[in-house]
Amino acid sequence: MSGAAMQDLTAQVAYHLARRARWRGLEYVFWAAALASVFFLPAKHLILNEIAILALFALSLDLLIGYAGIISLGHAAYFGFGAYAAGLIAKHGLIGEPVLALLVTGLVVALLGFITSFLVLRGSDLTRIMITLGFSLILREVANRFAGLTGGADGLQGVTMAPLLGQFTFDIGGHVAYMYSLTVLFVMFLVARRIVYSPFGLSLRAVQGNALRAAAIGIGVNWRLVAIYTIAAAYAGIAGALLTQSTQFCSLDVFSFERSADLFVVLVLGGVGYLYGGLVGAVLFKITQDWLAGLTPQYWQFWVGLTLVIIVLVGTERLSGWLRAIRRLAFKGQG
């Protein structure tokens, strides 16, 4: 290939990448709506805060499943680890300022994710499912047994948060907490968006499509999976840390299997593999949960289960096909 043609090709690739990564109209609408909720729904800030945290957690799983094809049934391990890490940091006054503590927690959980990724990435889907599940159960046991440090079954108590950036004190109505969580979500989303539209993100998609072929065209499969697993772990850890920071409490159920399983529901509701799935799913999930729990407080899990079964029987491909059709309509005129 001559130099000119090569340059031409590079330019074309760069053009297409930029085009893919362009912000679409509906994305502006989504974030404008999120911003509006800060001002127009002050009474709902507590649940909105939960939604933002769940959305960040779901975003983390979406990076794993939707972009790398790794099924993890124990993603709550990193969420819980982040939650406890943030709680302990605040309780013992290691780092007073919440944002800094959040960053440190993210790094610590990323390290945990990096170490464990080598265990997880061996073997087939089934092996991965079991190792992730086992790992989250082990962490739960650890938190349960080391009651002196974690408070055991009573949960971690006595966590008091310093004012955010030294200015804003966390209030009982969750206003500061929601703005904090939403900001973190937005920043983390921007980072995730940057990642998935980068060449690295594209190569991940190739690995997800067919790891063998990806390796054959010179994509290092393993280190890419390790990298995305580490990133996803950090995201989950930061979501967990947000939960502890905004509720000033953390209990063993951050590690529970239900938390990992619910996350699947969130992702399936919202759709896998286009970043907004976790966000939209979190909104739908929390609203439905709130509504159903009001109707049948004890049995709402039944409806969660039914939703999953129906969605699978209808077919996620078909559902995402409908979604794609809707999106195509919505983005008409933009190409």
Task: Name the site residues for another protein (rule: CB under 8 A).
Answer: 65, 71, 73, 119, 122-127, 129-131, 133-135, 137-138, 141-142, 145, 257-258, 261, 264, 268, 272, 298-302, 304-309, 311-313, 316
Query: Containing H/E element for 125?
Result: helix 125-145
Residue with Cβ nearer another protein (88 or 130)? 130
Residue 309 has which token pair? Answer: 């079964």
Q: At its nearest, how many Å lie between another protein and the CB of residue 288?
A: 14
Which SS3 state, helix, strand or coil, does residue 198 take?
coil
Beta bridge partners of 168: 164
Q: At its nearest, how many Å lie between another protein and the CB of residue 119?
A: 6
Residue with Cβ nearer another protein (216 or 317)? 317
Q: At its nearest, how many Å lie between another protein and the CB of residue 114?
A: 17
76, 109, 188, 260 from 236: Cα distances, Å? 8, 8, 11, 11
Residue with Cβ nearer another protein (119 or 206)? 119
**257: Cβ–Cβ under 8 A, 6 or more apart, which residues?**
73, 74, 76, 133, 136, 137
Residue with Cβ nearer another protein (77 or 231)? 77
Q: At its nearest, how many Å lie between another protein and the CB of residue 56?
A: 21
Residue with Cβ nearer another protein (111 or 130)? 130
Which DSSP string do the residues of 162-194 spell out, in sequence order? PPBTTTB---TT-HHHHHHHHHHHHHHHHHHHH
Which SS3 state, helix, strand or coil, does residue 156 take?
strand
Q: Which among 86, 245, 229 is positioned nearest to 164, based on CA atoms? A: 245
First-last CA distance in the chain:
31
**109: Cβ–Cβ under 8 A, 6 or more apart, which residues?**
78, 81, 82, 85, 233, 234, 236, 237, 238, 240
Q: At its nearest, how many Å lie between another protein and the CB of residue 326?
A: 21
Residue with Cβ nearer another protein (26 or 261)? 261
Q: At its nearest, how many Å lie between another protein and the CB of residue 23?
A: 29
Radius of gyration of the chain (CA): 21
Q: At its nearest, how many Å lie between another protein and the CB of residue 158?
A: 25
* Alpha carbon distance 129, 298 (integer Å): 28
Residue with Cβ nearer another protein (206 or 311)? 311
Q: Using CA of residue 196, residue 206, residue 79, residue 298, what is the dihedral sign?
A: positive
Q: At its nearest, how many Å lie between another protein and the CB of residue 63?
A: 14
Residue with Cβ nearer another protein (137 or 219)? 137
